Amino acid sequence: MNSTSRLLKIFTNFFKRPLVVAICTTIFFLSIGLFGLWQRYQILKESDTREMTNIVNLVEQNINHSLKNSYSVALSLALLIDDSGSVNNFYEVAPSLVDDNPFIDGVQMVPGGVIQQVYPFEENRSVIGYDILKDSKINAEAYKAIQLRKMYFAGPFELRQGGYAILGRLPVFIKNKFWGFSAIIIKFDNLLDKSGIFPLVGDKYNFQFSKIQKGTGEEIVYSPNKAELDRSYSQTVLLPDGDWKFYISPVNRNANFYMLLPFLILVILSSLFLGWAMFQLLKQPARLQALVNSQAGELIKSELKFRSIFNQAAIGVALLDSSTGKILDANKKCRELIGYSKEEILTLDYMQLSYPEDLQEDMQNMERLRAGVFKEYTMKKRIIRKDKEVVWIKLTVSAMWHEGESPTTHVAIVEDITEKKQAETDLKRSYQTVMDQNRRLLNFSYIVSHNLRSHSSNFQSILNLYEYSESEEEKIKYIEMLSNVADSLNQTLVDLNDVTSIHSNIDLVIEPVSVLKYINRTLDLLKFEIEKKNAVYNVKVPEEMVVDFNAAYMESVLLNFLSNTLRYRNKAVPLEVTITGRKEGAGWVLEIADNGIGIDLEKHRDKLFGLYKTFTGRSNSRGVGLFITKNQLDAMDAKINVESTVGKGSNFKVHFK
């Protein structure tokens, strides 16, 4: 008897045992039904996850928006502090700040860590004189704000004046010495209301805020409805301003299971019925063939239906070999995202599609998946499409083998998040731009306050002397002194106007500029001074040195550098200046080297480009030119380096993009 005959006999004997066949049939159809329900459960679970992610992202945006807006209020309060540490006009300014910013419930001035001024006053008067730095329960977060030298949000905690609130404290430093805090109060209920969390979560989700207590490391939980939140099935976001975490979780994490429970019962009953039917059919050989044909047709329909769902899914789905990483199948959405045809994609593996910098993390996750460390993982990574375009995706990988089995295949769910990543990048860039503008504005306000106050004091002193003087000769002398102070004030205003124009000019025309052409033009302007001082200028700049720059800024930068070589020459030796241009990478470098008096960089490097900073001791130095030049180069994204030795000369290097 050959092997075929033996197999046929075994097969025939098998179908002669109706009970065994019925049990096998039940198990078979039960497996198919459970697999289909599992797929549906995963889709529902993914839908819940996406909904929670959207809610978390929106709440995060709203809270961060409120917290970042409060920084402007705290900064406005800090500007009320003068150089002597006195707070001016607090009770005149505070009402408008609170009224104009509905997300803020109060403001404080906290010199030396002691609350001295509050608004609204009546409901917060109980905290006047309270030293927050001596209270061991809350001072850790205050000290962290001082350490970080930036605004830090403390709480939520119960206020001495009643209620729960979040306090944002901005440390203020005068001449690099800690003065105290300008603080804002946001009631916790107000923050929740402005976040929009209540209409978003409705009755479907619970949420919690938590924070790691400084010192103890204990996680303190804040939950408005006091509900127990299941963090094993939740979405979490870290709010960096204050080291808080925000959790959201379904009220009933088993809702999807209960939704599918009738279908599960139906699958079980159907499987049992099919097993019973098979049992009956095997007992009735005449009807067996018809029933087999009928069931085969149903199986084909189920397969077609499954394939239809697979291919029409709204997100990318792929089946991969877990050992080799080869793609075994991919639905239409996945193929459209990657850009390959069905035939092409079956020749690839996930390593070929991964962006090189993200591949290592993905491979490590796959190793853990195969080792059974976890059954699924989610990560954000980049892939390279067929057209070489780089796309950001959210990848969710689930194992298709049971615990204890050898790795076989896994399912990858792919979601395009390129637009979201780009939005995150744009938001960070916009935030950095705003912070840079605020920093420049604060520095400029210090300059204006300092310089104008000096002139104002001089005017006041001279006028007082003039008023009490009885001698006409002395009065004439005081009038001359007033004239000198007025001239100095006018020059200060001209300098400040030049500085302001650089930062306020947002319509700069950037065009290709020939560096050699503008060097020659500048040397022609300085020709008289150059000949008068017997100076020699060696120009070694190629004609092809053309950079994208603003023409007026180029003229100003070159005129300042070259006129400085004449102004600060070493009178003991003939002045010699070498101007060199060279290619460096994708950009150009311009060097202006002289044998002038030089600068002591060990002493002056940090303030080299500061406004009204001088280093030579000469009376004609005002400390404005290099400051304006540096700001013009910054506006054009150009970089400047300086090498200098006292008595030997200086070398300024400008790196153009």
* Domain hosting residue 184, numbered range: 51-250
CB atoms within 10 A of CB 585: 7
**What are the residues facing 398 on neighbouring strands?**
376, 411
CB atoms within 10 A of CB 503: 15
Rg (CA), the chain: 38
- CA–CA separation, 69 vs 595, rounded Å? 51
496 and 587 share one domain: no
pLDDT confidence of residue 457? 56
521 and 450 share one domain: no
**Considering the domain boundaries, does residue 533 fall inside one?**
yes
Helix (H) or strand (E) holding 534, with range, is none
With 0-12 CB in 10 A as exposed, 13-18 as middle and 19+ as buried, what is 288?
Answer: middle
**Considering the domain boundaries, does residue 117 fall inside one?**
yes
What's the CATH code of the domain at 383?
Answer: 3.30.450.20
What's the CATH code of the domain at 68?
Answer: 3.30.450.350
202 and 349 share one domain: no
**Considering the domain boundaries, does residue 167 fall inside one?**
yes
**Considering the domain boundaries, does residue 583 fall inside one?**
yes
333 and 246 share one domain: no
Helix (H) or strand (E) holding 53, with range, is helix 18-78
Cβ atoms of 618 and 599 within 8 Å: the answer is: no
238 and 354 share one domain: no
**Considering the domain boundaries, does residue 611 fall inside one?**
yes
User: Is 69 in a helix, a strand, or coil?
Assistant: helix
pLDDT confidence of residue 111? 92
Note the pLDDT tens digit of each residue in 594-610: 998 878 777 756 566 65
pLDDT confidence of residue 369? 86
230 and 198 share one domain: yes
650 and 516 share one domain: yes
Residue where one domain finishes, among candidates 374, 395, 416: 416
The H-assigned helical ranges of 398-550 are 418-468, 472-504, 515-525, 527-532
pLDDT confidence of residue 618? 52
CB atoms within 10 A of CB 60: 15
**Considering the domain boundaries, does residue 288 fall inside one?**
no
Cβ atoms of 400 and 408 within 8 Å: the answer is: yes
457 and 561 share one domain: no
367 and 426 share one domain: no
With 0-12 CB in 10 A as exposed, 13-18 as middle and 19+ as buried, what is 649?
Answer: buried
485 and 563 share one domain: no
**Considering the domain boundaries, does residue 280 fall inside one?**
no
What tokens appear for 95 in the block? 């009402």
What's the CATH code of the domain at 546?
Answer: 3.30.565.10
Residue where one domain finishes, among candidates 205, 235, 250: 250
pLDDT confidence of residue 611? 54
Number of structural domains found in the chain? 4
**What are the residues facing 633 on neighbouring strands?**
none
What tokens appear for 131 in the block? 């030293």
385 and 348 share one domain: yes
- CA–CA separation, 300 vs 646, rounded Å? 90
What tokens appear for 582 in the block? 């060279």
User: Is 615 in a helix, a strand, or coil?
Assistant: coil
Ranges of residues in the chain with a pLDDT under 70 are: 1-16, 160-162, 211-244, 253, 282-313, 430, 432-461, 478, 481-482, 484-508, 604-625
Residue where one domain finishes, among candidates 480, 504, 528: 504
451 and 401 share one domain: no
